[in-house]
Amino acid sequence: MILKAFEIEKINIHKNNHYLFYGENSGFKKEIIEKKFKSEFNENIFNYDENEILKDENKFFDQILTKSFFEKQKLILISRTTDKLLKVIKEIIERKIEDVVFVFISEKLENKSKIRYFFEKEKNLVCVPFYLDTYQSLSYLANNFFKKLKINISQEITNVIIERSNYDRLNLNNELNKIQYYAKDKQKITLENIIKLTNLAENNNISELVDFCLAKNERKTLRIINENNFSSDDSILIIRTFQNKVKRLMNLKEEINKNNNIENVISTFKPPIFWKDKEIVKLQIKIWSYEKIQKLLSTINDAELSIKKNYENSIKILLNFIFATCKTDQ
109 and 150 both lie in a single domain: no
What is the per-residue pLDDT across 87-112, written as a single tens digit (0 to 9) for each?
A: 999 999 998 887 889 999 998 899 99
CA pair distance 95, 19, nearest whole angstrom: 16
Neighbours of 215 (CB within 10 A): 20
Q: What is the DSSP string of 175-205?
A: HHHHHHHHTTT-SB--HHHHHHHSSHHHHHH
What was the pLDDT predicted at 7? 81
218 and 247 both lie in a single domain: yes
Average pLDDT score over residue span 266-282: 82
166 and 245 both lie in a single domain: no
pLDDT band at 62 (very low <50, low <70, confident <90, very high): confident
71 and 140 both lie in a single domain: no
Structural contact between residues 164 and 204, judged by C-beta atoms closer than 8 angstroms: yes
221 and 313 both lie in a single domain: yes
**Domains in the chain: how many in total?**
3
Domain end, chosen from 78, 104, 129, is at: 129
User: Quick one: which of 298, 204, 285, 282 has its CA closest to 243?
Assistant: 298
153 and 237 both lie in a single domain: no
pLDDT band at 18 (very low <50, low <70, confident <90, very high): very high
296 and 189 both lie in a single domain: no
Domain end, chosen from 129, 150, 182, is at: 129
What was the pLDDT predicted at 67? 62
Structural contact between residues 187 and 151, judged by C-beta atoms closer than 8 angstroms: yes
Q: CATH code at 142?
A: 1.10.8.60
Tell me the C-alpha to C-alpha distance, in Å, between residue 238 and each of 19, 209, 230: 32, 9, 9
pTM greater than 0.75? no
Average pLDDT score over residue span 109-121: 93
Q: CATH code at 248?
A: 1.20.272.10
177 and 260 both lie in a single domain: no
What was the pLDDT predicted at 2? 87
Residue 204 clears pLDDT 90, i.e. is over it: no
User: Quick one: which of 227, 241, 167, 156 has its CA closest to 194?
Assistant: 156
CA pair distance 219, 7, nearest whole angstrom: 49
Q: State percent of the chain over pLDDT 90.
A: 33
What was the pLDDT predicted at 136? 86
Structural contact between residues 209 and 238, judged by C-beta atoms closer than 8 angstroms: yes
Structural contact between residues 73 and 44, judged by C-beta atoms closer than 8 angstroms: yes
Residue 200 clears pLDDT 60, i.e. is over it: no
User: Quick one: which of 253, 272, 241 has its CA closest to 135?
Assistant: 272
Range of the domain at 208: 204-327
144 and 125 both lie in a single domain: no
What was the pLDDT predicted at 76? 92
Structural contact between residues 48 and 72, judged by C-beta atoms closer than 8 angstroms: no
CA pair distance 306, 6, nearest whole angstrom: 33
Q: State percent of the chain over pLDDT 70.
A: 92
Top pLDDT among 219 and 15 is at 219
What was the pLDDT predicted at 258? 76
pLDDT band at 302 (very low <50, low <70, confident <90, very high): very high
Q: Give the single-character DSSP code of 152.
A: B
185 and 300 both lie in a single domain: no
Q: Assign 3-class secondary structure to 200-226.
A: HHHHHHHHHHHHHHHCCCHHHHHHHHH
Q: Strand, helix or coil at 107?
A: coil
Task: Kindly report whether the peptide bond that precedes residue 272 is cis, defined as omega within 30 degrees of 0.
Answer: no
Structural contact between residues 194 and 200, judged by C-beta atoms closer than 8 angstroms: yes
14 and 72 both lie in a single domain: yes
125 and 223 both lie in a single domain: no
Region for 128 from its dihedrals, namely left if φ exceeds 0, alpha if ψ lies in -120 to 50, beta otherwise: beta
Domain end, chosen from 172, 198, 224, is at: 198
